[in-house]
Amino acid sequence: EDQVTQSPEALRLQEGESSSLNCSYTVSGLRGLFWYRQDPGKGPEFLFTLYSAGEEKEKERLKATLTKKESFLHITAPKPEDSATYLCAVRSGTASKLTFGTGTRLQVTL
Amino acid sequence: EPEVTQTPSHQVTQMGQEVILRCVPISNHLYFYWYRQILGQKVEFLVSFYNNEISEKSEIFDDQFSVERPDGSNFTLKIRSTKLEDSAMYFCAGGPWDNEQFFGPGTRLTVL
């Protein structure tokens, strides 16, 4: 059974203070690792899909990396509008479903 | 940029009643999904749908649940006899291929 563990549960940063969120996973045959952003009361917003170890993707202040056991979401010089819950999910084997972690709740203050 | 839409945004129902949640995927989407998120918990997979049939379902998706795409645009989730524990946010997702899933804004279902 696929498992996804995210840490920390919550993170408070000051504007401009860079940091990383961690997603550890256990799957049988990774088909994709997904990062989403979720604002309160909203649906998950797609950020990235990573497929193989060593792959990196960037979008504005966010950069996602992937190893064989974990993924990191690096946030460089965050702004208050980056405050949200960041969700990690995996897809494995022939399954179509995504298995989600519990998320990291990020708060960026002035 | 087109987005997945869902209606209603909030549905309140009595235990034992039937509810239908509706989703309009983006026109080029071929793969469709329903997920739910109980307050404070993980997003959980319910069912995937491709080529007018269910391709995968979770243990949550029992005989009380059904999905259909009746008119080629709307994608619906029906819960036949709601229970208190069905209260959650229900998200529709879709994608043009099976490794992209774009989520809608969700329907908050409250069962009293």
Q: How many CA atoms lie within 13 A of B25 on its CB side?
A: 27
- A99 to chain B: which residues are within 8 Å by CB? 45
Nearest-Cα residue of chain B relative to residue A5: B42
pLDDT of residue A88: 98
Residues A4, A99 contacting (CB under 8 angstroms): yes
Cis bond leading into B96, ω under 30°? Answer: no
Q: Residue A75 has what pLDDT?
A: 98
Q: What pLDDT is recorded for position B26?
A: 87
Are B45 and A45 a contacting pair at CB < 8 A? no
Adjacent-strand bridge partners of A76: none
Q: Name the pLDDT band for B71 (thresholds 50, 70, 90).
A: confident
Percent residues over pLDDT 90 in chain B: 81
* CB atoms A100 and B55 under 8 Å: no
In percent, the amount of chain B with pLDDT more than 70 equals: 98
d(CA B66, CA B23): 14
Inter-chain touch B31–A96, beta carbons under 8 Å: yes
B1 band by pLDDT with thresholds 50, 70 and 90: low
The three-point CA angle B76-B29-A88 to 5° equals: 85
Query: B24-48 pLDDT, tens per residue?
Result: 988 889 999 999 999 999 999 999 9
Is the pLDDT score of B16 beyond 90? Answer: yes
pLDDT confidence of residue B98: 84
pLDDT at A49: 95
Three-state SS at B57: strand
Q: Say if the Cβ atoms of B101 and A43 lie within 8 Å.
A: no
Can you tell me the distance from the alpha carbon of A31 to that of A28, in angstroms, rounded to the nearest whole number?
9
What are the respective helix, strand and coil percentages of chain B, to the nearest 5? Answer: 5, 50, 45
In eight-state DSSP terms, residue A16 is: T
Residues of chain A with pLDDT under 70: none
* For testing contact with chain B, the best of A97, A104, A105 (most B CBs within 10 A): A97
Closest CA of chain A from B90, distance in Å: 9
